[in-house]
A and B are shown apart, each in its own frame.
Chain A
């Protein structure tokens, strides 16, 4: 069911997720964490779509659509929070 090329694609995406998680843990400011969360969400959408192709099930694509919508809303909400965070300082 899982072939060699699937393992190659999954390991490339896994290294991408690992790098964004390292940046999310040690990011010096809050904006770096928001950027790494955005990249993380996009890589997770790719992982879900490749899983749909591996398991030959079209239901995973619906999950990918809903995850894309929620990831966009999540990015906008965290950015609005970041925007209002330092309002009194300048």
Chain B
């Protein structure tokens, strides 16, 4: 039980490390949103599951945190991406811009 817990916690720490590295090294804002949100969602799930294996009586609270993170993290990512698009912080090397091709201006996203 201890070994399974530490395996999950090490996987979670590795995903947190890779998420921070992606936020530091990716070239523009949309790539940083990808790296910073997906990697840390999976890392938080792994760490919480590992702690639940180490202490089985805490499972209810840990499931509550997992459900809240699974709901709130994609919403936060979507809100950040929408705000980045609407505030004209678009990177220069963007190849396809479907919202602009559809004839809408930035206020009507």
Contact = CB atoms under 8 A, between A and B. Distances in A.
Nearest to B18: A16
Given A31-B29, A53-B54, A9 B20 contact: no
Given A35-B36, A38-B80, A39-B20, A12 B14 contact: yes
A10 B16 CA distance: 10
Contact of B83 (A5, A18, A68, A80): A80
A31 B72 contact: no
Interface residues of A, number: 51
Contacts, number: 167
Interface string B53-87: 01101100110110011001101110110111011
B20 A90 contact: no
B47 A49 contact: yes
Contact of A16 (B16, B54, B76): B16
Contacts of B93: none
Contacts of B77: 38
Contact of B87 (A31, A45, A53, A76): A31
